[in-house]
Amino acid sequence: MKLIILDRDGVINFDSDQFIKSPDEWKPIPGSLEAIARLTREGWRVVVATNQSGLARGLFEMATLNAIHAKMHKAAAQAGGRIEAVFYCPHSADMNCGCRKPRAGMLNEIGMRYGSDLNGVPVVGDSLRDLEAAANVGARPLLVKTGKGEKTLAAGGLPASTPVFSDLGAAVEHLLTAA
């Protein structure tokens, strides 16, 4: 089984400093759905791991998050792709939970659910916390410049040997041609 873990906001869809609070605000980054479709065709299992502190902050309800994810699943399917599951942390940073990236809880849960050792599994993110979460479980962090990626790159401090790509499509191209 080839497993890949993607962050949501800034990797698959455009990010917002005001949070993605409705299905209407969820807009895919050009090429991201096609990249997911390409992974699907090549036999990869695509899983999303996303911090969603907007729930804890009261910015949206669980039903709204489900509607946003339903739109994402449908958009991926219409492009020929499949997102197998979405794992999310509903907590705010000050709640000190174990599932919020950069902590390892959410990624460990994915590993357990899929019966997979995460060693070397690609994790694509646009923020340092995505990359640190990957490094914390022995997965392979990949940075995209979309979303907060440019700022993350400029700030430095990336885990050792983290490759950088213009977007999800470029990261997928690299993974599939390097395999």
Phi, psi of 89, deg, nearest 5: -105, 120
Catalytic residue, from 7, 126, 130, 167: name it: 7
Alpha-carbon gap, residue 51 to 20, rounded angstroms: 12
Containing structural domain, residue 13: 2-178
Q: Would you say 175 and 122 are in contact if contact means Cβ atoms under 8 Å apart?
A: yes
Alpha-carbon gap, residue 14 to 30, rounded angstroms: 9
* Structure tokens, 2: 């080839």
Q: Where are the beta strands (DSSP E) in the chain?
A: 2-6, 44-51, 83-89, 122-125, 140-144, 164-165
Task: Give yes or no: 24 in active site.
Answer: no
**What is the pLDDT at residue 179?**
62
Catalytic residue, from 9, 126, 130, 167: name it: 9
Task: Give yes or no: 17 in active site.
Answer: no
Q: What is the pTM of this model?
A: 0.97
The CATH number covering residue 111 comes to 3.40.50.1000
Q: What is the pLDDT averaged over residues 112-129? A: 96
Number of domains in the chain: 1
Would you say residue 1 has pLDDT above 80?
A: no
Under the banding of pLDDT at 50, 70 and 90, the label for residue 33 is: very high
